[in-house]
Amino acid sequence: MTKLVSIVGRSNVGKSTLFNRLIGYKKSIVNSKSGVTRDRNYGFCNWNGIDFCLIDTGGYTNKFNNIFDKKICEQFFFALEESDLILFLVDPSNKILEIDYEISKILQKLKKTIYLVINKIDLLKKKENISEFFKLGFSKKYCISSINGAGTGELLDSIVEIFKNTETDLFVKKKNQFIPKLAIVGRPNVGKSTLINTLLKKNQNIVSNISGTTRDSLEVFYKKFGIECILVDTAGIRKKNKIKENIEFYSVMRAIKSIKNSDVCLLLIDSISGMESQDLKIFKIIENNNKGIILLINKCDLIKNKFLEKIFKKKIKKIIAPFKDVPIFFTSSYKKKNLIKSLKTAIKIAFKLKLKIKTSLLNKIMLPIINKYPHPLRNGKPITIKYCSQLPTYNPQFIFFSNYPNLIKKSYKRFIEKKLREKFNFTGIPIKILFRLK
């Protein structure tokens, strides 16, 4: 079983900075503004050959000034419940606050290993402030700087010493095993986090009707109904001119990065507003990055007339043309409609992306079709295609050798792509057709 280590504390003590430092890259958004981290954010750390999962949490508070404060605290307690070891991060640049005492009392009631981690020692002028935090009553104490990494090596040594003799089962790509990564993407407030919470049957991610609730891209392992994958909840991608603050800008950038790092994207579209220009832009981002794609018309329980579904699907196919060979599901987190079906389809697409067709089989199937429906004459010249092959790329790319590759029409290229899709079932997968001189 994977060992989980959570980083907890009040706001602005450097939890996300430490999280990014330990996993080795900037995954959590870091900002001087409090309350930036809301959901639990998961990442993996390897130290001296030992792997463990790290959890970044939002800052604990006992004052609920807005809708998110209470939800952030819920995520804080969820993290405590699932963790094996807890890093209690404090900031010695000020004296101990009442909230620090409150957090320490909560942690001391747990029957778990707690490390008191005193952060920002590089900024500390009065060293006596450190000893004051010893009053919190934790025996294992570490002084670090999450900014420059001072003391983090000793902290990691102590963590992995506990986990050294424990088997781990990480939800990452294991040796000789492929676990698909599925990104849940779309505009703000289309139901991305709700969908993941429904699948997991728990409040994994914070949900509200306020757009921009999800800020980080959040990964979670899913293993049910014969499905094994990584689900990635992303921030809503809105138009550039509607992005109002730096935090939202970084959230959108992380969402786009999640698309690039995924195998298949499940693009959620609001069933009431329909497919808007921003949805099409997100669709094109996915297509241009050669990722598998499924369209989920979400909140379909709000569609009262089922005849409208056929009209909806037909309209969407017209909007996304020419890449129309995409699975479309009408989903509802409320009624749990088509959620598992769409995931199973996404898994099939992920494995299909890795498929390499033998050159002999490709030519055996495609050349008779090309000979039966040859390219029309161009400038009085007959255009022939004698050979084809799949390139050794991640996404399906095919090269066709012709006597006049520069004269081949786009319509004929679309014809070849259509036949490839029909014969080899590339539904939901962008494919590239290239022509070269024989």
Is residue 382 classed as helix, strand or coil in its secondary structure?
coil
Q: Is 16 left (phi over 0), alpha (psi -120 to 50) or beta?
A: alpha
Once rounded to an integer, what is the mean pLDDT over residues 61-85?
Answer: 71
* For residue 215, pLDDT beyond 50: no
Phi and psi angles of residue 243, each rounded to the nearest 5 degrees, phi first:
-80, 120
Q: Which of 21-30, 143-152, 167-176, 355-364 has the lowest mean pLDDT?
A: 167-176
Taking the C-alpha atoms of residue 272 and residue 233, their distance in angstroms, rounded to an integer, is: 22
Of the chain, the percentage scoring pLDDT greater than 70 comes to 81
DSSP 160-182: HHHHTTS----SS--TT----EE
pLDDT of residue 238: 54
Give the pLDDT confidence of 94-128 residue by residue, as tens digits: 788 888 898 999 999 888 899 999 988 877 665 65
CB atoms closer than 10 angstroms to residue 103: 23
Bigger pLDDT: 193 vs 239: 193
Let me know: does 21 contact 45? Beta carbons within 8 Å: no
pLDDT of residue 92: 85
Taking the C-alpha atoms of residue 88 and residue 201, their distance in angstroms, rounded to an integer, is: 28
Question: What's this model's pTM, rounded to 2 decimal places?
Answer: 0.63
CB atoms closer than 10 angstroms to residue 327: 18
Bigger pLDDT: 236 vs 343: 343
Give the pLDDT confidence of 340-382 residue by residue, as tens digits: 999 999 999 999 998 899 999 999 999 999 999 999 998 888 9
Element (H, E) at 288: helix 277-288
Give the pLDDT confidence of 397-426 residue by residue, as tens digits: 999 999 999 999 999 999 999 999 999 999
